[in-house]
Amino acid sequence: MKAVVFESYGPAELLHVADVPRPEPLDDEILVRVRAVAVTRADVATRDANRNGGPAVMVISRLVSGVRGPRQPILGSEFAGEVAKVGAAVKEFQVGNTIFGSTGFRFGAYAEFVRVRESARIAPMPARLSFEQAASITDGGLNALWCLRLAKPRSGQSILVYGASGAIGTAGVQLAKHLGYHVTGVTSTKNVDLVRALGAETVIDYTRDDFTKNGRAYDVIFDAVGKQSFARCEQSLKPGGRYLATDGFSNLMRAVWNSRFGDKKVIFSIPPRYTKQDVYFLKGLVESGEFKPVVDRSYPLDDVVEASRYVETEQKVGNVILTLWIRPGLWC
């Protein structure tokens, strides 16, 4: 089968399409023919060993992914596709079902086929959704859901979502609205209308207004793009407020410190723990119209380098998707 592989850490140009063995499902596994897969921040960070995180984060990244080179040469975790084969013990799915989900840090979905357990974070695709849209659900959806739940949401509280037009941000705005928050989104000028359409009651254009200097305060500040810090946001939090981080080694240290001291808390818990039930929860919100996956651009698998470069610009809106071709003989 065809797959995108990389043999060493570094720039996007190291990604290339190659022929690799097609996996076979074990008794409790499903073989999925991938039709669409998201290109995520996690893919980019893993590929370059978290170069931008500093020496300590790079060391941790290599300990997790492989010291000298990647143990898993195929990236991609958020996918949608069709069930091509099932193991003998599989009962929930059958050949021909359309499904979506996440392999997490097992990766492997930049490929024509990926093998997943029946108990993994997968679910039937929501009705009337394209493969590209379905592959856009779990990256931002699971990450935002995990962070918001850690904040112990209470209906009627206020939340500011910084980076409200990215994958996690677009999901965060919609999920916060579902959880009963009064939502303020922060984004650039061109995405103000989008963020408002997703449910934000107030939208701040960061090119014109610095939310840390406008005198407003929030119960929760959710940094969905890892570009803020607790120190910068502290005065914009109400007493007892929570700062939700999605990135940054310093935030992890601050979370440990603030769990013991201080009224305002940094919440940053890794690794995140997602469940199959979480994927079904997101599926339900999509089907009820409360959650709309946002797709910025789609690229064919052969253009993975260009897609990865675009994600690295940190200017994507929602999700970037790779689509896979259909070749004669795939089902043989």
Say yes or no: 202 and 310 in one domain.
no
Q: Which phi and psi (to 5°) does residue 249 adopt? A: -60, -35
Say yes or no: 212 and 236 in one domain.
yes
Structural domains counted in the chain: 2
Amino acid at 118: E
Say yes or no: 317 and 206 in one domain.
no
Say yes or no: 262 and 151 in one domain.
yes
Query: How high is the pLDDT of residue 56?
Result: 67
d(CA 232, CA 226): 13
CATH code of the domain containing 24: 3.90.180.10
Report the Cα–Cα distance between both ends of the chain, in Å, rounded.
11
Query: How high is the pLDDT of residue 326?
Result: 52
Tell me if residue 134 falls in helix, strand or coil.
Answer: helix
Say yes or no: 100 and 150 in one domain.
no
The one-character DSSP state at 125 is: P
- Inside any domain, residue 114: yes
Say yes or no: 303 and 263 in one domain.
no
| Low pLDDT (below 50) residues in the chain | 249, 253-255, 257, 327-332
Say yes or no: 236 and 179 in one domain.
yes
- Inside any domain, residue 224: yes
- Inside any domain, residue 283: no
Query: How high is the pLDDT of residue 273?
Result: 87
| The two three-digit tokens of residue 212, written as one number | 């840390």
Say yes or no: 60 and 84 in one domain.
yes
Domain extent, residue 209, equals: 140-267
Query: How high is the pLDDT of residue 250?
Result: 54
d(CA 148, CA 28): 32
Say yes or no: 36 and 133 in one domain.
yes
Residue (of 83, 69, 75, 85) closest to 3 by Cα position? 75
Query: How high is the pLDDT of residue 328?
Result: 38
Contact 234/242 with Cβ under 8 angstroms? no
Say yes or no: 192 and 297 in one domain.
no
Question: Across-strand partners of 242?
Answer: 220, 265
Which residue's entry shows tokens 């193991």? Answer: 87
Residue partners of 16: CB distance under 8 A and separation at least 6: 4, 5, 6
- Inside any domain, residue 279: no
- Inside any domain, residue 329: no
Amino acid at 192: V
CATH code of the domain containing 224: 3.40.50.720
Query: How high is the pLDDT of residue 299?
Result: 97
Say yes or no: 146 and 130 in one domain.
no
- Inside any domain, residue 31: yes
Give the other-Cβ count within 10 Å of 313's Cβ.
7
d(CA 84, CA 1): 13
Contact 189/315 with Cβ under 8 angstroms? no
Say yes or no: 213 and 111 in one domain.
no
pTM of the model: 0.91
Contact 118/91 with Cβ under 8 angstroms? yes
